[in-house]
Amino acid sequence: VSVEVLFQPGGYRVKVESTETILEAVARQGYRAPSACRNGVCHICAAKLLAGDPGPAGLLTVPDNAPTVLVCKAKPTSDCELEMTNLHPADKLVLREISVQVKSVTLLSADVYGVELLAPAGELPAFYAGQYLQLLIPQLDSAFFSIANAPGSRVIELHILAPPGQSSAVTILAYLRANPLVRIRLPMGSCCLARIPETPVVLVAAGTGFAQIKSMVEWLLANNFRHPLSVYWGVRKAEERYAMPVFESWRTQPGMHCVAIAADNPDNEWTGHHTELVKALSREQTDWQTTAVYASGSPAMVYATQDALRVLGLPDAQFHSDVLEYAPR
């Protein structure tokens, strides 16, 4: 049984199943609404009730004010009309520049740094899970980084690989350490999740390509993704697995299958090349005809993955990577 929620002033209509919240339905159908706690605490997802019965969960009534609905909690029992000015459809994210605070720069491991940026209050950065941004740093026009967290909060997390010899990455880190604010341009990239996929999903990352995959996993988990979800993460050396606690925490999620591959791990079959990542992937138990794959890494790794999965039956239209755009074959 489903009901329909009409959002004003945009006039967007969203079908809500009896088992889901309005926020889940909105995300599944390719709309974006602001959310943070997703548990009725922060009120960032509040909408004004214009008509209908949104159900008791998530309904706030304050004397002399129009009733308010927290869409992260509400499971409506009849068609409703809500006013929510910051709900946007999937294709309406506009590229923009904002100044954000540099909250922290932390060495995670083996030359990989975690950077936390904080957008100003009331300036929720709009992006889809898997998109990237540009740091606007003087004299550097190629500071592009995947956003490593899910959309819906003021915090933006980046993973920056900065080995001592790599001057542009070292310059970026020095700038972020020296400046309390940095300007960013976002969102960018079409390899992203604008809506919840209705098929199994396989995510493949090499090195800090993990950042893009992490954003997608966090968003899928937050939106109760209902299909099998597999993650493959390959690195050259075990110490480059800079986010293992996060990766390990996914292993306990129902329906998730996580494989980490490192070249110098004696317990691992990998002998030092990303073709072993592809080999591991080929053992994935899935119907490739009906699976969506998102790959994040070097062009060599991405194309080797696409070629191998095509042989196994994955249609090209279901293989997604930013590499297809910025380094076409």
- Which positions lie near ligand FES, rule CB under 6 A? 35-38, 40-45, 70, 72
Taking the C-alpha atoms of residue 122 and residue 6, their distance in angstroms, rounded to an integer, is 24
Give the nearest distance from C-beta 65 to ligand FES in angstroms: 17
Closest separation between CB of residue 297 and ligand FES, Å? 33
Task: Pick between residue 41 and residue 246 the one whose CB is nearest to ligand FES.
Answer: 41
- Closest separation between CB of residue 7 and ligand FES, Å? 15
Q: What angle do CA 145, 120, 62 make, to 5 degrees?
A: 130
Nearer to ligand FES by Cβ, of 118 and 188: the residue is: 118
Task: Indicate the residue whose CB is closest to ligand FES.
Answer: 72
Whether the CB-CB separation of 17 and 25 falls below 8 Å is answered with: yes
Nearest approach, Cβ of residue 123 and ligand FES (Å) = 17
Cβ 44 to ligand FES, closest distance in Å?
5
Query: Residue 50 or 57: which CB sits closer to ligand FES?
Result: 57
Q: Which is nearer to ligand FES, 60 or 161 (CB)?
A: 60
Q: Which amino acid is at 225?
A: F
Nearer to ligand FES, 70 or 213 (CB): 70
Judged by CB, which is closer to ligand FES: 41, or 327?
41
- Select 21 or 321, whichever has its Cβ closest to ligand FES: 21
CB of 45 to ligand FES, least distance (A): 3
Q: How many residues does the chain have?
A: 329
Q: How far is the CB of 154 from ligand FES (least distance, A)?
A: 13
Is the CB of residue 192 less than 8 Å from the CB of residue 106?
no
